[in-house]
Amino acid sequence: MAESNQPTGEDCSGNCASCPSATKCDDPRKTEAHGLPPKANVNVKHVVLVLSGKGGVGKSTVAANLAYALSNHGYKTGLIDLDIHGPNIPKMLGVEEAKLQSYDGKIIEPVRVTGTLGVVSMAFLLPARSTPIIWRGPMKMGVIRQFLEDVHWGDLDFMVVDLPPGTGDEALTIAQLAPNIAGAVIVTTPQDVAVMDSSKAAEFIKKLELPVLGIVENMSGFVCPHCKEEIDIFGKGGGEKEAKELGVPFLGAIPLDPEMRRAADEGRPFIIRTAEDNPTWASINNVMEALINEIEG
């Protein structure tokens, strides 16, 4: 049993489900009654967690476009929207009005966006868009297991998980339940306050003894549509600098682009509606290719 981040015979409380080191702990008191639940039964090669240290950095936009890009490249992809209190993925993918269907009383069919991309989200279960989710941790944990195990995903190459900001119940639960986690992508914007919080997300993943696949700097620079001059509204380079300091890969920078915002509002992922010579399109595609290289290279 490693000394760092691991409970010892003197200080172990037995509450393994809330301990980030429980997956590696060999304390004999970690019984089935107090230990972690079993991994969910999902046939997926690579699970990729997408998270951020704070809200408003475009994490869901990156997750949606990343999943769509993987699907476009022929990978069988699942996308789980685990931002339970603020599910936006269905809106961004143009399937906001869809509802989850089930058969045999249990098996849930994901909403199909393309032939190779399926998605599940709490948004598909709400009676109205304005309905709030008022849940404590145990209910979140239950629905996360359902989204993994009770959904007819089939055989997947990738499962992209869009997480809420921070390092709370949802992130810890998916890390404990999901099989074959390739690692996490941390999304930040360039300014110091976002980079500072992104470092906390990266350290959280390290404490879970999972790989940090890399950092993505979103809203990195803005090219004026009129004069074509690049303006660093939120600064530039903060994410790359943080990646070097943390010793993790830098997957790339995505510029601030009004067309990306418009695409999300209209429910048509940016990655499918712009020509390949567009710099923003190329940046998203480059991030996707860098991620695949980190996982498979």
Helix-helix angle 59-72:279-296, to 10 degrees? 80
Q: How many CA atoms lie within 13 A of 58 on its CB side?
A: 25
How confident is the model at residue 2, as a pLDDT?
A: 38
The answer on pLDDT for 279 being more than 90 is no
Buried/exposed code over 255-275 (b: 16+ C-beta within 10 A; e: otherwise): bbbeebeebbeeeebbbeebe
How confident is the model at residue 13, as a pLDDT?
A: 54
Please tell me whether 130 is known to bind a ligand.
no
Compute φ and ψ for 31, nearest 5 degrees.
-85, 170
Please tell me whether 57 is known to bind a ligand.
yes
Give the model confidence (pLDDT) of 31-47 as tens digits: 343 466 789 999 999 99
Average pLDDT for 128-155: 93
Average pLDDT for 48-71: 91
How confident is the model at residue 12, as a pLDDT?
A: 56
Q: Which tokens is 157 given? A: 């190459």
Question: In percent, how much of the chain has pLDDT > 90?
Answer: 54
What mean pLDDT, rounded, does the chain reach? Answer: 85
Per-residue confidence band for 5, with pLDDT thresholds at 50, 70 and 90: very low
Average pLDDT for 250-267: 88
Average pLDDT for 97-120: 91
Please tell me whether 56 is known to bind a ligand.
yes
Range in 113-122, 248-257, 272-281 with the lowest mean pLDDT: 272-281
How confident is the model at residue 24, as a pLDDT?
A: 52
Q: How many CB atoms lie within 10 A of CB 277?
A: 7
Give the model confidence (pLDDT) of 162-187 as tens digits: 999 988 899 999 999 999 999 999 99
The answer on pLDDT for 73 being more than 80 is yes
Give the model confidence (pLDDT) of 213-241 as tens digits: 999 998 888 877 777 677 787 778 889 99
Q: How many CB atoms lie within 10 A of CB 283?
A: 19
The answer on pLDDT for 129 being more than 80 is yes
Please tell me whether 58 is known to bind a ligand.
yes
Domain ranges of the chain: 46-296
Per-residue confidence band for 58, with pLDDT thresholds at 50, 70 and 90: confident
Most confident region among 3-12, 18-27, 54-63, 232-241 by mean pLDDT: 54-63
Please tell me whether 59 is known to bind a ligand.
yes
The answer on pLDDT for 54 being more than 90 is no
Instruction: Give the Cα separation of 80 and 49 in Å (integer).
Output: 10
3-state secondary structure of 77: strand
How confident is the model at residue 228, as a pLDDT?
A: 66
Compute φ and ψ for 124, nearest 5 degrees.
-75, -10
Q: Look at 294 and 234; give whichever has higher pLDDT.
A: 294
Pick the CATH number of 46-296 from 3.50.50.60, 3.40.50.300, 3.40.640.10, 1.10.1050.10: 3.40.50.300
How confident is the model at residue 26, as a pLDDT?
A: 47
User: 234 and 219 in contact (C-beta within 8 Å)?
Assistant: yes
3-state secondary structure of 162: strand
Please tell me whether 30 is known to bind a ligand.
no
The answer on pLDDT for 10 being more than 70 is no
Average pLDDT for 266-276: 76
How confident is the model at residue 29, as a pLDDT?
A: 42
